[in-house]
Amino acid sequence: MGSYGSIYYSRWFLEPRTPESFNALQIHLSIGVTVAVVVVLRILWRSASPMPKEEPGSKLAHLAAHLGHYALYAVIIIMPITGYLGTGSDINYFFMFELPKFESTMLYQPLVENGLGTTFSDFEKPMDFIHKDLLGAWIVWLLILGHVLAALYHHFVKNDRTLKKMTTGK
């Protein structure tokens, strides 16, 4: 939520291309990179650990839960990747460490110019669309809302332990 808070703060309350706006964008980027690292660690941990026992429910309910979780993971993986790949700023920071923009990395030329036969400007447009317009503007919020509503449904309607397992692991 901090990543969204920083970017919305920048867009709603700050003038574009000011030092304050730049700082808010760098906070957004830093949190995004942190989320990417944490998600990779979470996936590694989940693949090495047994799945918790499912609460009683229909096959359809369990399928919906699994699909929702896969969608959340997909978005949480795709958002930092497209955010980084579409960053056109020459100077980017991961907290106090400088990050090169994708165009300045060793991977850019073989993947984008030679592999796709395009320029950074043309490559950046679909990355920004996925990050800002498609996923960031709508899908992330719908998945978060669905996840919250499902957890509340389990807690208050079904009276099962799903929310407790989500928060305490027990």
| CA distance linking residue 60 with residue 63, whole number of Å | 5
| CA distance linking residue 124 with residue 158, whole number of Å | 45
Residue type at position 110: P
Helix (H) or strand (E) holding 9: helix 2-13
Backbone φ, ψ for residue 30 (5° rounding)? -65, -45
| Cβ–Cβ < 8 Å for 88, 124 | yes
- Write down the domain spans for the chain: 2-168
Most confident of 45-49, 63-67, 165-169: 63-67
The pTM is what? Answer: 0.81
Cα-Cα-Cα-Cα torsion 54, 58, 64, 65, nearest 10 degrees, comes to -20
- What are the structure tokens assigned to 2, written together? 């901090």
pLDDT of residue 134: 86
Residues 82-133 pLDDT 10s: 988 988 777 777 888 888 888 988 999 999 999 999 999 999 999 999 998 8
Provide the 8-state DSSP code for 89.
Answer: -
